[in-house]
Amino acid sequence: MADSSMLLSRLRELGWAPVTEVADWSAPCPGWDAVLTGERFTVTQPDQAAWYDGSLPTSPAWRAAVQRSGLLQHFTADHNDLDSVREDIVTGRALALVSSCR
């Protein structure tokens, strides 16, 4: 996967891997942590900088499943609209990471 943005290059340095390389991202990546409290969602990267801090509107059942598993899969790509990101995941142009989640 050729990185087409500085952001994706930086994320690869921080442990994110191409979605096509499942063995490289299917286990929790050290230093990445997510906290989900109701719809409030925060993610910190290994240097403790905030990767995301905002809302994540999901169903109570989804939140309960995440809390039980203690893990969360993250996906990102060069696009910021859901349909394009979904396409990037399907075609292998996205990056993925698993974090702990409390």
Domain ranges of the chain: 6-101
| Residue 98: its H or E element | strand 95-101
pTM above 0.85, yes or no: no
Beta strand ranges found along the chain (DSSP E):
17-18, 28-37, 40-44, 50-55, 71-76, 95-101
What tens digit of pLDDT does each residue of 31-77 get? 999 999 988 999 999 999 999 999 988 999 999 999 999 999 999 88
Distance CA 60, CA 28 (A): 23
Q: Predicted confidence band at 95 (pLDDT cuts at 50, 70, 90)? A: very high
User: Residues of the chain with pLDDT > 70: what percent?
Assistant: 96
Are the C-beta atoms of residues 47 and 30 closer than 8 Å to each other? no
Kindly give the pairing relationship between strand 28-37 and strand 40-44.
Answer: antiparallel
Residue 5 has pLDDT above 70, yes or no: yes
